[in-house]
Amino acid sequence: MAKEYNPKEIEGKWQKEWEKSLIYRALDSSKKPKYYALIEFPYPSGDGLHVGHPRPYIGIDIIARKKRMEGFNVLYPIGWDAFGLPTENYAIKTGKDPRIVTKENSDTFRRQIQSLGISFDWSREINTTDPKYYKWTQWLFLKFLEKGLAYKAKMAINWCPKDKIGLANEEVVDGACERCGTPVEQKEKEQWMLAITKYADRLLDDLDTVDYPERVKTQQRNWIGKSEGALIKFDDIEIFTTRPDTIFGATFIVISGKEDRFTGRYVTNPATKEKIPVWEAEYVMSDYGTGAIMAVPAHDERDMEFAKKFSLPIVENYTPAGFEDYGKKVIKYKLRDWVFSRQRYWGEPIPIVHCDKCGVVPVPEKDLPVLLPEVKNYQPTDTGESPLAAIEEWANTTCPKCGGKAKRETDTMPNWAGSSWYFLRYCDHENDKEFASMDNLKYWMPVDWYNGGMEHTVLHLLYSRFWNKFLYDLKLVPTSEPYKKRTSHGLILAEGGEKMSKSKGNVVNPDAIVERFGADTLRLYEMFMGPFEQAIAWNEESLVGPRRFLERVWKLKDKIYQGKALEDTDYQGLALVHQTIKKVSLDIESMGFNTAVSTLMIFTNTLDKQEKVSQKEFETLLILLAPFAPHITEELWEILGHKDSIHLQKWPVYDPQKIEKDEITLAIQIDGKVRASLTVSRGQSEDEIKTAVLAMSEVKKWLGGKEPKRVIVVPRKIISIVT
């Protein structure tokens, strides 16, 4: 009795073998061309993976595996973005040290990811909370400080009174804390800033040099928000406008405020010399331009609505001549400098000491890393200071310059810090002399293909591009842009179309799916369920299809005959093989994973209908399927008698000359005149063609009920009927 497909047995066996043989390990020098494939490294939460997390890992794994088979030296690394508020909040709630929480969580994530057969190079695993890693995050911060791009400024911050933390703008949604939903307050606080605005033009202009989806480029451009316009003074209020020519139609001023109200003030329109009122309104953003606008109801819909609501004047007709006399040309950006400090515990300590005599003093490189002390209490303070401020034995130190008494900086870095340069560390993960050697960076950078979530296509992408450009200016990295190509994947939603979340009880754990169906089935389903860039709802019943497909592939081994390779005479089979190679190859490169799987299913069904299958056809199917279902294909490859891994085989190349259409159209002559045509398959017999022709209504009409004397089929040309 033939051995049945048993994914549990097969998958465990090959995962151990791959770990032992190191076939996925990248070499820092090779005669092969390099290929750097990257996913956004995950935040290891306490809930473990749900089935949505592996979608990008599997997608880029397919690309990485194909590139290896095409002869590339592939770097496909993994690590953990492990600093941040969720772990700290969990530590506060449970009393567990964040270090222990992080280790437990990353151990769970690692086990789950490895159970899916993702071809990560685990030897390069990094963790942003590892002092060996954050030593270099601190070192990089000091470079920003040295070059005048890190500075401290007093400013109003978004303050969450419940979490007792300062929030970045992106962490505030509809005026409330993104995590707990509490309305935020404004609080004055000195903050460390990074001067990303100095790079605004380059961040904008260089989008033209990279392969990003247009919607991603648009989001980046909109966030930077470059506007050419004019500054105009209305007495003591300065406004920025991109339409200075409309100044003669300005009938009131609006400044940013929390409610719609008249301030009681009037200012002079410098063009009309008329006194116009000053109002406050929510629709004016405080962080764009000067936080004030001249309202021109005739040209702006919001201004028009506001004017009608409060019965303010609307000037429809005016002559714009002479507006240049009042406009000072300027360029403005929506982009603001990056607030780089957090008043929390679980983050990288900022390597600064404050000395009464010397002022702000950087910690010397020899004293890095500044270690995060182990503490019992992670509670944030009511004053807005970090919990580190209460640890006197850590906070009190000596000045590196004068040796006098000094205080450590007790703010920590945001969780964006470690993720702004991790792609560089993968290139040289064990280097304790520098963040990465130039030799390794020259070999691996830039990243050839970077995939991540749409939610990170603005800030993370912008921040990491900024860090890379800064390091490029210092001649510490070889390329101005870190990523050649960027793509994004759609979310996997819960059944019913809702977002998966623990609170809704709709999270699907991949462990249960792997246990029941196998990892290869899960991988195939996640690629087959719909277009990769679109959000798709999970449907467990649909896993049955991919599982049955794999079982059909498994049974094909019993149909193999050890005959000669396909001949040109076996045209139908030969064309299908090359059509399949072409379609699957192109679909992988365009992330059309669902249609690639569909093509493999069609190929398998065709082979299944044959009484016997040549080993060459079956091996081609296995190699094309290997990036999608690595375990079953590896096992079948071994059963066929091969000693080397299927994942080290050459990717097949199609022959365009052998991909002629499977069908041809023949003209039908009746007594020497063309009366109709018939499309036939190249594999159809003469008898089948004759039967089909005589059944055609057009032919019956011309025959008029008579039986033909002869029906002659001239292969690939015509069908001749003689009456």
pLDDT at 5: 96
- 707/694 Cα distance (integer angstroms): 10
On the 0-12 / 13-18 / 19+ scale of CB atoms within 10 A, 632 is: buried
| Euclidean distance between CA atoms 317 and 645, whole angstroms | 78
In DSSP terms, which residues pair with 692 in a beta bridge?
A: none
Contact 228, 499 (CB under 8 A): no
Does domain 227-332 correspond to CATH entry 3.90.740.10?
A: yes
| CA-based torsion, 449, 112, 419, 153: positive or negative | positive
The closest alpha carbon to 716, from 672, 660, 658, 673, belongs to 660
Bridge partners of 447, per DSSP, are 483
Residues with Cβ within 8 Å of 97's Cβ and at least 6 positions away in sequence, in order, are 91, 374
What does the chain come to in residues? 723
Residue 327 three-state SS: coil
**DSSP conformational letter for 18:** H
User: What 8-state DSSP symbol labels residue 681?
Assistant: E
| Crossing angle of helices 459-473 and 214-224, rounded to 10° | 80
d(CA 347, CA 342) in angstroms, rounded, equals 8
Q: Domain 663-722: which CATH class? A: alpha beta
DSSP bridge partners of 565:
none
Residues 539 and 172: their CA atoms lie apart, in Å, by 33
Rounded to the nearest 5°, which phi and psi values hold at 551? -65, -35
Report d(CA 637, CA 629) in Å as an integer. 12
Two tokens at 353? 């000491």
In a 13 Å sphere around the CA of 133, the CA atoms on its Cβ side amount to 26
What is the 8-class DSSP label of residue 37?
A: E
Cα distance between residue 193 and residue 336, in whole Å: 10
Tokens of 545: 């299809």
**Token pair in block for residue 373:** 């002390």
Query: How many helices and strands in the chain, by DSSP H and E?
Result: 22, 31
Q: Give every strand in the sheet of 227-234, ordered side by side.
A: 237-241, 227-234, 328-332
Residue carrying structure tokens 């076939």: 23
Structure-token pair, residue 226: 């470059």
Which residues have CB under 8 Å from 650's CB, separation 6+? 69, 70, 71
Rg (CA), the chain: 33
Q: How far is CA 344 from CA 85, 142, 626, 678, in A?
A: 8, 20, 46, 76
**C-beta neighbour count of 448 within 10 angstroms:** 21
Output the six-digit token pair for 516. Answer: 């029941």
Domain residue spans in the chain? 7-137+416-503, 138-195+338-408, 227-332, 510-658, 663-722
- Report pTM: 0.86
Asked if residues 353 and 409 have their Cβ atoms less than 8 Å apart, the reply is: yes
Residues 6 or more apart in contact with residue 521 via CB below 8 angstroms = 7, 513, 543, 546, 547, 550
What is the per-residue pLDDT across 320-354, written as a single tens digit (0 to 9) for each?
A: 888 888 788 999 998 999 989 988 899 999 999 99
Instruction: Report the candidate in 720, 716, 625, 601 with the shortest Cα–Cα distance to residue 663.
Output: 716
- The C-alpha torsion from 620 through 624 and 626 to 627, rounded to 10°, is 160
End-to-end CA, the chain: 58
Give the burial class of 290: count Cβ atoms within 10 A of its Cβ; 0-12 exposed, 13-18 middle, 19 or more buried. middle
The yes/no answer on whether domain 7-137+416-503 falls in CATH 3.40.50.620 is yes
CA 562/CA 643 separation, integer angstroms = 18
Sheet holding 359-362, edge to edge: 359-362, 352-355, 405-408, 396-398
The answer to whether 230 touches 290, Cβ cutoff 8 Å, is no
Strands 275-281 and 261-268: antiparallel
Q: Can you list the residues of the chain whose pLDDT is less than 70?
A: 1-2, 168-170, 562-572, 660-663, 681-684
Q: What is the DSSP letter of 287?
A: T
Q: Do domains 7-137+416-503 and 510-658 have the same CATH topology?
A: no
DSSP character at residue 483: B
- Measured distance CA(513)–CA(669) in Å, rounded: 60
Bond prior to 446 in cis (omega within 30° of 0):
yes
What CA–CA distance (Å, rounded) separates 181 from 171?
A: 11
**DSSP-assigned letter for residue 485:** B
pLDDT, residue 2, reads 61
Residues 510-658, CATH architecture:
Orthogonal Bundle (1.10)
Burial class (CB in 10 A: 0-12, 13-18, 19+), 678: middle
- β-pair partners for 663: 681
* HSE-CB for 718 with a 13 A CA cutoff: 13
252-256 and 275-281 as β-strands: parallel, antiparallel, unpaired?
A: parallel
649 contacts: CB under 8 Å, gap ≥ 6: 69, 623, 626, 637
